[in-house]
Amino acid sequence: MTLKEALSQIQPTDQTAQMLAQRRWNSIAKPLQSLGLLEDTVTMLAGMKHGRNVKITKPCVVVMCADNGVVAEGVTQTSQEVTAVVTKNFTTGATSVCRMAQVAGAKVVPVDIGVARDVDAQGLLVKKIAYGTKNMALEPAMTREQAVAAIEVGINTVIQLAEQGFDLFATGEMGIGNTTTSSAVTAVLLHKSVSDVTGRGAGLSSEGVKRKIAVIRRAIATNNPDPDDVLDTVSKVGGFDIAGLIGVFLGGAVMQLPVLIDGFISSVAALCAIRLCPHAAGYMLPSHVSNEPAGKLLMHELNLQPFLTCNMCLGEGTGAVAAIPILNMACQVYNDMSTFSEIEIEDYQPLE
């Protein structure tokens, strides 16, 4: 499916189903709104699924893996080779998100969308656009055509997984330097100062953060991305992992299935997806708020309130996967708990 086709197929969520889900919540034998955000999230799920089968039975986490040429500017603590190592580790279960996904009952689906070298690993989906992006401090990170192609990888990956029965998509990523690209995209799209949206990433020193900010400023000045054109911004100062995740969000919306936002990089991709198609917002669920400086800012911009505040900034989809058991618990209450009438007690009434 092309990006143009996907954008034309995304429909708003079912408001009638959401209203009926809220009515169901109000009938359940417990204090009104006592599960707070979890009730709101299950109500959103009902809208996505038109009120049918309001539960999660087969979740997965799609991890977009790609390298970023801007690493050459010394904006990271580790070298680019780490991306390939961790990408392979996703296939053997030797990463944080893999261990967490075991507990959550979620399959980890790693995608090589732009790792700087070939990774030979069983279970890795190889959909490489290029061997990493170019150095955005000197030139555009990628062409507009490559940005579209990367988004289409995300869209079609979700469609293929949905056809295999997966019904929730947590978003993850791996790519040394991707907090640098994410800060750049955030600064452009939200018209914010680079220093306000840039953090330490994977452990930079204070001096390293200053260098990172300077490099991002240079990249924006060099490429002059258009804040009113998502594809222009992503192609000039983004990354293949960000573009792939944009596609995951759009693909979930096409299939009318929920997509869990993870942390900073994932939130940036969610914002881009909404800018491309506002209706896609109805299929996005928050998980946690990233400890990166722009974490809260992006959640506010997305008008979402996450369940978890754990000061996490690991990436990989760890925050999104951590939310899956909580979401399953909420669905269990919604589907299986008795109503006031069934246990023959008077309903709770809203306070005046």
Q: What is the largest CA-CA distance in the chain?
A: 70
Fold of the domain built from segment(s) 59-327: Rossmann fold (3.40.50)
Q: Are 199 and 179 in contact (CB under 8 A)?
A: yes
3-state secondary structure of 263: coil
Q: How far is CA 90 from the centre of its chain?
A: 17
**Residue-wise pLDDT tens digits, 264-275:** 999 999 999 999
- Per the DSSP assignment, residues forming a β-bridge with 168 are 59
Alpha helices in the chain (DSSP H): 3-9, 15-27, 37-48, 81-92, 96-104, 144-163, 178-189, 206-223, 230-237, 240-254, 264-276, 295-302, 318-336
pLDDT at 338: 84
Q: Using 70 as the pLDDT threshold, list the residues of the chain that sit under it.
A: 202-203, 208, 344-345, 347-352
Catalytic residue among 145, 316, 346, 352: 316
3-state secondary structure of 175: coil
Domain ranges of the chain: 59-327
pLDDT at 313: 82
3-state secondary structure of 287: coil
Q: Indicate the pTM of the whole model.
A: 0.96
* Spatial distance between the Cα atoms of 339 and 92, rounded to a whole number of angstroms: 45
pLDDT at 344: 66
pLDDT at 29: 87
CA distances (Å), origin 172, targets 47, 219, 264? 24, 25, 10
| Active-site residue, 342 included | no
Q: Are 181 and 294 in contact (CB under 8 A)?
A: no
3-state secondary structure of 111: strand
Looking up tokens 């299950």, which residue turns up?
Answer: 42
